[in-house]
Structure 1
Amino acid sequence: MRPLRASFLALALSGLGGGACAAAQAAPSLASAQQTEAVILTRSALLALDQANKTGNYTVLRDLGSSTFHANSAAKLSEVFADLRRQNVDMSATLAQPLSFNPQPAVDAKGLLRVAGAVPLGARVLYFQIAWAREAGAWRIYGIVVTASETTP
């Protein structure tokens, strides 16, 4: 595989580093209904990012975020995801492709729901790390990291 440049949001993602994976692995796995919710949240976040990249309008992605994520302006989000946008990665197929989580989705010690994994997108594989914070009874995006790699034939 040939890695492409990463898009990431450092401000809201300080906790999504390697330690996040270790914390998620240590957490108990989610019940079946919660696993389904994690899949829905993941697809929703990836689709929101895809639509933001296609339109150049990051306000909806920002509005789906937690109060911590709101610290980022739509302009800042546009800057953060500029490389992914320039790569013209179409993430809409994430709605129909199987998501592969590694580790399995889990709520960490801080109460953040964390997912990490990959989804095939034709000649590319999309890798993601997403965290949500529970606010006002709903999961809100806390941080999102997305990278794409070309697959080798």
Structure 2
Amino acid sequence: MVSPLKNNSVLQAFVVLTLGLMPLTTPQAFLTPVLAQSDVAQTRAAITTENDRIFVHSLIKSSLLSLNQANQTQDYSVLRKLGSPGFQMRNTEQDLSRIFRSTREANLDFTAVTEYEPTFTSQPMLNAENNLLVTGYFPTQPQINFELAYQLINGTFRIDTLTIGIGAQ
């Protein structure tokens, strides 16, 4: 079986954020479970080659950098367009601006992730629909925790859900 990670040349992603101790008012649609219990048996490892590892790491970093740019410019139009169709239907640009207001006002900067490799707390998995599920953290100061689900659409992984937590290392 050919991994869909190997053939993907476009790294498009965006982010939905929840800060650990700084709760945001986030629509429930953002925080849907990324893996239903019945789906557990139908998952398989997403990283089986060095190319897969590089791709997954780049996709995660791209997601965080996309959020960072949207926060810096206060323009969430591109971030929204990079999302899955479901994400776009659930969120307007104004919704994203409101959701990320706390991170924008706190001047949180995610560019440090370019210098680190993510550490996974569970192995990245592909579910039966080839959606990519990743959970882990970047050992930055403060530590950036993440849980992402990417939906495979026309050969491109597009972010569907993401939760980020900021905490001490």
Distance 2:37 2:117 in 1: 21
Cα offsets for 1:66-111 (capped at 9, x unmatched)? 1111111111111112222222211001111121111121112343
Contact map agreement 1:130 1:141 (CA 8 A) in 2: yes
Matches within 5 A, 1:2-151: 3-6=20-23, 10-16=28-34, 19=35, 27-29=43-45, 30-32=47-49, 33-71=51-89, 72-122=91-141, 124-151=142-169
Cα offsets for 1:114-139 (capped at 9, x unmatched)? 111111233x0111111111112211
Count of residue pairs the alignment pairs up: 146
Give the AA of the match of 1:76. Answer: D
Offset at residue 25 of structure 1 (A): 9.1
Distance 2:72 2:38 in 1: 33
Segments of structure 2 that go 5 or more residues without pairing to the other structure are 1-19
SS at match of 1:44: helix
- Give the RMSD, CA atoms, in angstroms: 2.4
Offset at residue 26 of structure 1 (A): 7.3
Give the stretch that moved more between structures: 7-16 or 29-38.
7-16
Give the stretch that moved more between structures: 32-41 or 91-100.
32-41
Segments of structure 1 that go 5 or more residues without pairing to the other structure are none
Q: Counterpart of 2:9?
A: none
Q: Which runs of 4+ in 1 moved over 6 A?
A: none
Contact map agreement 2:84 2:151 (CA 8 A) in 1: yes
Give the AA of the match of 2:28. Answer: A
Percentage of identical aligned residues: 28
